[in-house]
Every structure is written in structure tokens, then in C-alpha cells.
Amino acid sequence: MKKILDFKKGGGLIPVIIQSNKTKNILMLGYMNNEAFDMSIKTGCVYFWSRSRNQLWLKGSKSGNKIKIVKIDIDCDCDTLLIFVEYSGNGMCHLEKESCFDSY
């Protein structure tokens, strides 16, 4: 049975955790609206909703890094996604690192 995502709870957006399918490292956090989710499912590439630019964007479209969705998991509240990806290039971070996360 397919679960229905709850976009209402987050004001039209849901958080999306991007994880490497190979290393299992957490790579980044982004947000999707319904349109970004639909485009991601349709294309197999990760689309986000940019909160700062207020527009849909394809992850890797500017950097040239290729990202392929391997698997999508949904949390028990249906308001967060965990997307496992395979990627090539300099990583997910706009600072050309594998991950946007560092140790605190």
C-alpha cells in the first residue's frame, strides 16, 4: 500500500534527507514540494524546492554532478523522505565536498 505524503504539515514542504547508497553517509538535507516529488519520481533524479529562490531546481544541474535515485523511504508520519542515491562528481555539497555535514 502506497503512503500519501503529508505536505500540509510543513506548509507545503517536506524535508528530504539524501544518503549515499554506497557509503551510507548522509550527504545533504533539502526540501520538496509536491511538484518536486513528482518530478523526482518521473525522472529518477532528485528535484528540490529552493526556499531561497522560491523555485524548483534539479540537484546537480549547475555543478554537473549526476545523481540517480536508488530508493526512497518514507517516515512513519509521512512527512519526511530518505532518498538513497548514486552520484558522480564532486559530491552533494555546494562547497565541493561529499557531504554538507561536518562533525560538530
For position 73, which CATH number holds? 3.10.20.810
pLDDT tens, per residue, the chain with 104 residues: 678 999 999 999 999 999 999 999 999 999 999 999 999 999 999 999 999 999 999 988 888 777 899 999 999 999 999 999 998 887 788 888 889 998 88
pLDDT at 93: 84
pLDDT at 78: 96
Asked whether residue 68 is assigned to any structural domain, the reply reads: yes
Report which secondary-structure segment, H or E, holds 69. Answer: strand 66-74
Q: Which of 48, 42, 75 is nearest to 60 (CA)?
A: 48
Asked whether residue 96 is assigned to any structural domain, the reply reads: no
Gyration radius from the chain CA atoms: 13
Q: Which residues of 18-41 are buried (b: 16+ CB within 10 A; e: fewer)?
A: bbbeeeeeebbebbbbeebbebbe
Asked whether residue 81 is assigned to any structural domain, the reply reads: yes
pLDDT at 75: 96
pLDDT at 1: 62
| Separation of first and last alpha carbons in the chain | 39
Predicted TM-score (pTM) of the model is 0.92
Asked whether residue 59 is assigned to any structural domain, the reply reads: yes
Asked whether residue 7 is assigned to any structural domain, the reply reads: no
Specify the number of domains making up the chain.
Answer: 1
